[in-house]
């Protein structure tokens, strides 16, 4: 009997040394609290990343729209009136390598399609003449981009409320003219108009709604980018 009492006392002592298990509800509450902290931290990181992307986008837009320095060999005249109106005169590019290659291509092109079209019309082959129409259009487009457009002189004024554009060929022959509210202008950029024998030709594009005009066709790309930056300023 005494031995049994000693054994029960030893067991009770051991149990007293072993810590009691914590309630399960506390573990669950702690787990939920940790998940809330992780979710909040993740939201903070995503918000910071969104702010960083927005700042980078605004910085890139500012760099694109910032006025460029005037190129040393630029022939375009840019001035501003006392009221802040932009006054821009873009001269014709004149004859260049692309112009000469375009003229040679046009001469060879039309020397082939003119006799073919004349022969079809002479024999009464009306459908044959209609078949040749796309070739005439293609040749005309090449001559326009390589001969006519580089010969255009453009004057543009952009004020606070209105803008006006006029384009003429040598001799004062009017090509196009337009005007509108300044709010209609979407801006200006530089784009390739034609590639002749692997050589690209550029123009500054002025966009207003669904309309667009080419300025300075054939001028150096650096000068056109300067013109576009001044219009966008």
Dihedral over Cα of 208, 213, 216, 219: its sign: positive
Average pLDDT of span 120-137: 69
Which DSSP letter does residue 174 get? E
- Residue 89 scores a pLDDT above 50: yes
For residues 106, 111, 116 and 118, what is the CA-based torsion angle, rounded to 10 degrees? 100
User: Per-residue DSSP letters for 4-35?
Assistant: HHHHHHHHHHHHHHSPPPPPHHHHHHHHHHHH
Residue 154: pLDDT band (50, 70, 90) is very high
Please tell me the total number of residues recorded for the chain in this structure: 233
Of 10-14, 65-69, 160-164, the least confident: 10-14
pLDDT of 194: 76
Cα–Cα distances (Å) from 35 to 24, 29, 38, 44, 122, in that order, read 17, 10, 5, 14, 87
| 212-233: average pLDDT | 91
Give me Rg for the CA atoms of the chain: 38
Predicted pLDDT of residue 4? 46
Higher-pLDDT residue of 126 and 91 is 91
Crossing angle of helices 24-65/221-232, nearest 10°?
Answer: 110
Q: How many CB atoms lie within 10 A of CB 28?
A: 10
- Pairwise CA distance, residues 67 & 173, whole Å: 32
- What pLDDT does 1 receive? 52
* Lowest mean pLDDT segment, chosen from 22-36, 138-152, 207-221: 22-36
Highest-confidence range of 65-74, 91-100, 118-127, 213-222, by mean pLDDT? 213-222
CB atoms within 10 A of CB 149: 25
pLDDT average, residue stretch 61-85: 79
pTM of the model: 0.57
Task: Provide φ and ψ at 123, rounded to 5°.
Answer: -90, 5
Q: Burial-class residue 153 by CB neighbours within 10 Å (0-12, 13-18, 19+).
A: middle
Mean pLDDT computed over every residue of the chain:
77
Return phi, psi of residue 156, to 5°.
-140, 135
Greatest mean pLDDT range, 16-20, 24-28, 131-135: 131-135
Burial 113-126 (b: 16+ CB within 10 A, else e): eeeebeebeeeeee
């Amino acid at each position: 009997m005494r031995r049994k009492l000693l054994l029960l006392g030893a067991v009770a002592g051991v149990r007293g040394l072993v810590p009691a298990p914590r309630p399960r509800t506390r573990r669950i509450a702690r787990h939920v609290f940790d998940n809330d902290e992780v979710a909040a931290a993740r939201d903070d990181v995503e918000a910071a990343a969104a702010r960083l992307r927005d700042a980078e986008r605004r910085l890139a837009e500012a760099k694109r729209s910032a006025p460029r320095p005037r190129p040393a060999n630029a022939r375009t005249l840019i001035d501003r009136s006392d009221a802040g109106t932009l006054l821009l005169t873009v001269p014709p590019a004149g004859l260049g390598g692309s112009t000469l290659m375009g003229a040679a291509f046009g001469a060879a092109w039309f020397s082939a399609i003119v006799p073919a079209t004349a022969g079809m019309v002479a024999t009464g082959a009306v459908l044959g003449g209609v078949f040749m129409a796309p070739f005439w259009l293609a040749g005309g487009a090449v001559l326009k981009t390589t001969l006519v457009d580089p010969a255009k002189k453009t004057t543009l004024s952009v004020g606070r409320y209105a803008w006006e554009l006029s384009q003429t060929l040598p001799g004062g022959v009017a090509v196009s003219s337009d005007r509108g509210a300044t709010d209609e202008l979407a801006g200006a950029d530089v784009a390739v108009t034609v590639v002749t024998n692997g050589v690209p030709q550029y123009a500054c594009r002025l966009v207003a709604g669904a309309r667009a005009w080419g300025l300075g066709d054939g001028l150096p790309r650096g000068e056109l980018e300067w013109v576009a930056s001044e219009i966008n300023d």
